[in-house]
Amino acid sequence: MTLAERQLPAASSSRPALALLILGAVLISFSGIFVKVSELGPQATGFYRLALAFPVFWLWQRWSARDGRGDADRPRSAADFWLLVLPGLLLAGDFIAWHWGIRMTAIANPTLFGNTAPIWVTLALWLFWGKRFRPGFLVGMALAIAGIALILGASFETGRNDLIGDLLGIVTGMFYGAYMLALKAARHRFSTAAIMTWGAAAGALLILGVALAAGESLVIPSWHGLLLLVGLSLVSQVGGTSMISWSFAHLPAAFSAVTLLMNPMLTAIFAWVLLDEALGLGQIAAGLLVLGGILVAWYYSPTAD
C-alpha cells in the first residue's frame, strides 16, 4: 500500500467530509487565541465554551429530528446514555488540561502535545482491542518522544510554569485520543447532533464543577469578554468541533487524526500573528520532529475501522 492510498479514502462521497474536516481544523485552531485572551479563568472559559454551544446543538438536534430520527437518538439504556455522554466528558477533560496549559505557557507547545493523540489511539487499540502495530510505529513514537523531550528540556530551563503547561499538553493529547475513539463508537449509533448536544451538557457540568472548585469567577466582566466567549463557542466549538465530529462518521479515524495535525501548525501561526508569540528555530525543529514522528507512527499504526 502506498502512502497516497493510505491517506486518501477511496469513496468519492468522502470528499465533502474531507473538506469539512479541514475547515473544522482551521476553526478550532483559533480556540487557543480565544482562551488565551479571555477575561475569565481557564475553566470558567471552558464552561462557557460548552454552555453557550448547548442551545445551538439542541436546536440542531430538534431540527434533525424532523426526519424521524428523534426516537433513534434517544438513549434506551444505561449503555446508550454513557455512549452519548462519554465523548463530551472526555472532551471536557481535554479542555480542562489544555486551557490550563496554554494559560501557563505559550500556546504552541500545549497545542502541539495535544495532537499526540494518534500515538495514544494506537496504544489504546493495542492494549484494549488487540490490534497489532508494526516496528515502524515504534520508530515514529521514538522520534515524537525525542522531540517532546527536547521541548520539555527547554521548558525546564525557562521556568516551572512552562514545564507544567507542556505536561498538561501531553495529558490533553491522551484525553483527545480517548475522545476520538469514543466519538467514533458513538457515531455508529447516534447522530452528530445528538452526540454534540448530550456531550455539551455533560462536559459543561463537569467543567463547571472544576471551575467552582478552583475558585474561578463565572461573572463575565465586560461586553468584550462576552464576545470572546461567544466567538470561542460558535467558531471553535459549534463550527469546528461539529464539522470534525460529522467528518469522523465518513472518514477512517486514523486518517482524520493525522489530518488534524495541521491544527498545531495553524495555531502557532495565528499565535505569532495575533499575539506575537514567535517560535525559536530550536522550538520549530523540535516541533517538526514531533509532527514527523506522529506521522510515521500513524502510517504504521492499525485502524479502529
pLDDT score, position 1: 42
Helix axis angle for 135-158 and 160-187, nearest 10°, is 140
Mean pLDDT is lowest, of 77-91, 96-110, 183-197, for 183-197
Express each pLDDT in 64-89 by its tens digit.
777 666 556 788 889 899 999 999 99
Angle at 141 between CA 244 and CA 188, to 5 degrees: 30
- % of the chain surpassing 90 pLDDT: 33
Q: C-alpha 109: how far from its chain's center?
A: 14
Q: What does pTM read for this prediction?
A: 0.83
- pLDDT of 227 > 90? The answer is yes
Residue 2 exposed, middle or buried by CB count within 10 Å (0-12, 13-18, 19+):
exposed
- Greatest mean pLDDT range, 8-17, 26-35, 151-160, 201-210: 201-210
Q: How far is CA 18 from CA 25, 175, 176, in A?
A: 11, 23, 19
Q: What is the pLDDT of residues 11-60, one digit of tens each?
A: 445 678 888 888 988 898 899 999 999 999 999 999 999 999 999 999 98
Structure-model confidence comparison of residues 193 and 56, the more confident one: 56
Q: For the chain, which residues make up each domain, given as ranges?
A: 14-299
pLDDT of 303 above 70? no
Average pLDDT score over residue span 270-276: 87
Q: Give the DSSP letter of residue 234.
A: I
- Lowest-pLDDT range, 35-44, 45-54, 156-165, 191-200? 156-165
Q: What is the pLDDT of residue 289?
A: 87
- CA atoms within 13 A of residue 163's CA, in its CB half-sphere: 10
- The cell 463550527 sits on which residue? 239
The alpha carbon of 26 is separated from its chain's Cα centroid by a whole number of angstroms, namely 12
Tell me which of 123 and 167 has the higher pLDDT. 167
- The whole-number pLDDT of residue 69 equals 61
Average pLDDT value for residue range 117-142: 80
| Residue 91 near residue 28, CB atoms below 8 Å | no
| Range with the poorest average pLDDT among 22-26, 137-141, 204-208, 273-277 | 137-141
- Sign of the dihedral through C-alpha 100, 101, 104, 106: negative
Query: Residue 7: what pLDDT?
Result: 47
What pLDDT is attached to residue 2? 42
pLDDT band, residue 258 (cuts 50/70/90): low
With 80 as the cut, is the pLDDT of residue 118 above it?
A: no
C-alpha cell at 56: 445551538
- Measured from the Cβ of residue 158, the count of other Cβ atoms closer than 10 Å reads 11
> Given this model, what pLDDT does residue 291 score?
85
> What pLDDT is attached to residue 3?
43
- Per DSSP, the three-state class of 218 is coil
